[in-house]
Amino acid sequence: MRTWNRILTAALLGSALIASSAAAQQTADSQPAAQPTAPDAPQTAPPTQPANMPATQPAATAPAANAAPAATAPAALPTTVAPATMDQVVNLFIEREHGLIKMLSNRTPVVETYLQNLTNDPQLGPVPNEDHYFLGRMDMGEVVDRKDYLKEEDKGFQTRLMGGFNKLFKTQYQPLGFSWMVYADRTDFDREHYDFRYVRREFLGDVRCLVFDVTPKKTAGRGRFLGRLWVEDQDFNIVRLNGTYYPAPRNSFFFHMDSWRLNLIPGYWVPAYIYSEEGDFSAGVKNKTAFKAQTRIWGYDLKKGSKDDELTQIRVDSVKDDSPTAQDASPLQAEREWQQQAEDNVVERLTRAGLLAPEGDVDHILQTVVNNLQVTNNIDLPRPVRTRVLLTAPLETFSVGNTIVISRGLIDVLPDEASLAAVLSHELAHIVLGHNLGSKFAFNDRMLFSDEGTYQNLGFKHIPEEETAADKKAVELLKNSPYAQKLDNVGLFLKALQQRATSLSALLTTHLGNPLNEGGTISRLSALATLGPALDNTKLDQIAALPLGGRVKINPWDDKAEMVKTAPVAITSARDKMPFEVTPFYPRLARYGASLTPNAQPTTAANSNTGN
Ligand SMILES: [Zn+2]
């Protein structure tokens, strides 16, 4: 706990600073009647105009939002009269916030937090020296709660460290842990507890917003939201929250958060990204302990996992009865059918647990790369190789039957297509060598577990001999492929990974597949690690690995993954490279249906160094 105590002090100092400026704001906070009018408020609108949201459901069949089928978006809240004053705007966004809390109260999205503790490097600035990873389902009902996917044993040091931490949140916040800023205030977001002061208008991405400072009233009690809100100017939903909670009880702290929402369904903006950061590396500051953390929320549209539900959900797609005269399966055909059945079961189960993205755009890219390897190596398999994206951050790949799975985090940090080909080639090698795992999952009873039990019930780790053989075969495949001339980049990536291997052990802890490292040494594709130039962090044109979050974005509502489209930003110092690092979120906000890609694009500060 010593580490955290030091962080606590730092964070308290931060809160204290904010508190004094907030006190200054409060004096100017008496909500004068002559507030500026809302920019888009049609002053001439008849006061009784219902200003409905686009009718998404016929009135006769529009029950409460919660009763909408899970596969469809809930009915939008009806908008009230267009506001004429900022006071009315405040009333509207308070009402909207309560509507969002109600709409999400039967949801249990996946919540992932990846945290890097920082130390100061004279050359590179703050760099990670230790990391922690949390993955769970968040119950957004009466009391926001979460269940973890990771076993206690897996968490090791993190459990001790964050156990006390979580408990702190449990006793002092309604929303827990790193996910507490999904709402400003789960229970008491109203005028009795808060003062609201209009600041200005501002665009966030394509969305015009009204900005408000929010301060808890003196009588509001401890742990109240203190900070800033961005409210979009059509339906007056909160789209971003930035601040902390105040005042902190003794012996505890609240860190600072920047929380973003996306308009993924009509009428609602759902919490998607939360960035947390603490620490001060300026001269004279004694306390050098600091961290930055990304929390991502997805899987809003997943079904709540009750036992009954799971029993009715199990399907077996692959067992076909083609025709009454179908030939009997040969023993080999039977074996293949069996493996296909296991593969389909696992892919379906992982998707339902909110861990795999449904088949989509990213898979087309992955499959093109796999296809390049196959064609140039004359690999002809009885069944096609498929790919899927694991939605989580830790760097891992695994294969189930002919399906290659690669994690979002790993796709993010790979510098170029050759490196992507390299990590995929290892799994393709397993498939080519017939290292098929997981046929036991053809038995459906093995799919009957709670979503939180996924990591205890599924696993696709090979024995060391198969790992060695797959690496050897992978190098062979790569040397025959269009990527043969670019393997220097792969070597560079492996060196960069090696350099951070001990400080990023949580990022390198795999949960379903084999780890890329053994102890502190990167073992995956080690034959390629000597290729390429020496790693030189000061060379600006040497991009060995990218920050997290720069390649793949996930739609938090339906879990679809797609590639991020960002404009290049020049790297101007070694500190811009941030390999494997967490950066703040800055999604380009857009309204639902405003473009072909309705979900906003999360971008990071240094995501454009695509390096190929
Ligand atoms: Zn392997």
pLDDT one-digit tens code per residue, 277-316: 888 777 777 665 688 999 999 999 987 544 444 433 444 4
Q: How far is the CA of 611 from the centre of ligand 1 (A)?
A: 26
Q: Residue 425, SS3? A: helix
pLDDT of 559-608, one tens digit each? 999 998 877 788 888 888 899 999 999 999 999 988 544 444 444 434 44
Highest averaged pLDDT of the listed ranges 46-50, 368-372, 433-437: 368-372
> Looking at residues 204-230, what average pLDDT do you find?
93
Whether residue 460 is predicted with pLDDT greater than 70 in this model: the reply is yes
Q: How far is CA 484 from CA 124, 497, 533, in A?
A: 32, 21, 16
Regarding predicted confidence, which is higher, 571 or 357?
Answer: 357
Q: Quick one: pLDDT at residue 178?
A: 62
One-letter amino acid for residue 523 of the chain? S
Residue 245 φ then ψ, to 5°: -115, 150
Average pLDDT, the chain: 77
Angle at 19 between CA 16 and CA 25, to 5 degrees: 155
Question: How far does the centroid of ligand 1 lie from the alpha carbon of residue 424, in Å?
Answer: 10
Alpha helices by DSSP H, 152-275: 152-155, 157-172
108 pLDDT higher than 70: yes
Q: Which of 184-188, 396-400, 561-565, 578-582 has the lowest mean pLDDT?
A: 184-188
How many angstroms is it from 89 CA to the middle of ligand 1?
56
Q: How far is the CA of 598 from the centre of ligand 1 (A)?
A: 36
Residue type for 269, please?
W
Instruction: Tell how far the Cα of 463 is from the centroid of ligand 1, in angstroms.
Output: 8
Distance 513 CA to ligand 1 centre (A): 7
**What is the 302 CA–ligand 1 centroid distance (Å)?**
30
- Residue 102: name the closest of 83, 81, 61, 74 by CA: 74
Mean pLDDT is lowest, of 124-128, 443-447, 532-536, for 443-447
Distance of CA 100 to the CA centre of its chain: 20
* Banded pLDDT at 168 (limits 50, 70, 90): very low
Report the alpha-carbon distance of residue 564 to residue 583 in Å, rounded: 15
CA of 433 relative to ligand 1 center, distance in Å: 11
Instruction: Using the mean position of ligand 1's atoms as its centre, give its distance from the Cα of residue 351 in Å.
Output: 21
CA of 502 to the centre of ligand 1 (A): 21
Å from CA of 406 to ligand 1 middle: 12
Gap between the Cα atoms of 135 and 544, Å rounded: 28
Question: Which of 62-76, 111-125, 347-361 has the least mean pLDDT?
Answer: 62-76
DSSP 451: G
**What confidence score (pLDDT) does residue 251 get?**
60
C-alpha of residue 464 to centroid of ligand 1, in Å: 9
- Ligand 1 centroid from CA 470, angstroms: 6
Mean pLDDT of 129-148: 74
Q: Is 357 exposed, middle or buried (0-12, 13-18, 19+ CB in 10 A)?
A: buried
Ligand 1 center–CA 466 separation, angstroms? 7
Distance in Å, CA 525 to ligand 1 centroid: 10
pTM higher than 0.85 for the full model? no
When mean pLDDT is compared across 237-251, 344-358, 366-380, 504-518, the lowest value belongs to: 237-251
**Angle of CA points 192, 195, 199, to nearest 5°:** 155
Length of the chain: 612
109 CA distance to ligand 1 middle (Å): 30
Q: How confident is the model at residue 14 (pLDDT cuts 50, 70, 90)?
A: very low
The tens digit of pLDDT for each residue in 488-519 reads: 999 999 999 999 999 999 999 998 999 999 98
Spacing, Cα 318 to ligand 1 middle (Å): 26
Beta bridge partners of 261: 271
Rounded to the nearest angstrom, the distance between the alpha carbon of 111 and the centre of ligand 1 is 27
Instruction: State yes or no: pLDDT of 452 exceeds 90.
Output: no
Ligand 1 centroid distance, CA of 128 (Å) = 27
Report how far ligand 1's centroid is from the alpha carbon of 528 (Å).
15
Measured in Å, residue 420 CA sits from the centre of ligand 1 at 15
Residues near ion ligand 1 (CB < 5 Å) are 462, 467, 470, 514
Angle between helices 487-500 and 417-432 (to 10 degrees): 90
pLDDT at 262: 97
CA of 175 relative to ligand 1 center, distance in Å: 39
Query: DSSP string spanning 28-57?
Result: T-S--TTPPPPTT--TTS-TT---PPP--S
Q: Are strands 125-139 and 145-148 parallel, antiparallel or unpaired?
A: antiparallel
- Spacing, Cα 527 to ligand 1 middle (Å): 15
Measured in Å, residue 127 CA sits from the centre of ligand 1 at 30
Q: Report which of 256, 342, 264 is spatially closest to residue 299, judged by C-alpha positions.
A: 264
Instruction: Tell me, in angstroms, the distance from the centre of ligand 1 to residue 427's CA.
Output: 6
Based on the number of CB atoms within 10 Å of its own CB, is 58 exposed (0-12), middle (13-18) or buried (19 or more)? exposed
CA of 488 to the centre of ligand 1 (A): 21
How far apart (Å, rounded) are the C-alpha atoms in residues 178 and 254?
Answer: 10
Cα 419 to ligand 1 centre (Å): 16
Q: How far apart are CA 296 and CA 84, in angstroms?
A: 36
Place of tokens 């759902």: 270
- Kindly give the distance from the C-alpha atom of residue 387 to the centroid of ligand 1, in angstroms, as a whole number: 15
pLDDT at 213 exceeding the cut of 60? yes
Distance 531 CA to ligand 1 centre (A): 21
Q: How far is the CA of 233 from the centre of ligand 1 (A)?
A: 51
Asked if the model's pLDDT at residue 70 lies above 90, the reply is no
Q: Separation of 467 CA from ligand 1 center, angstroms?
A: 5
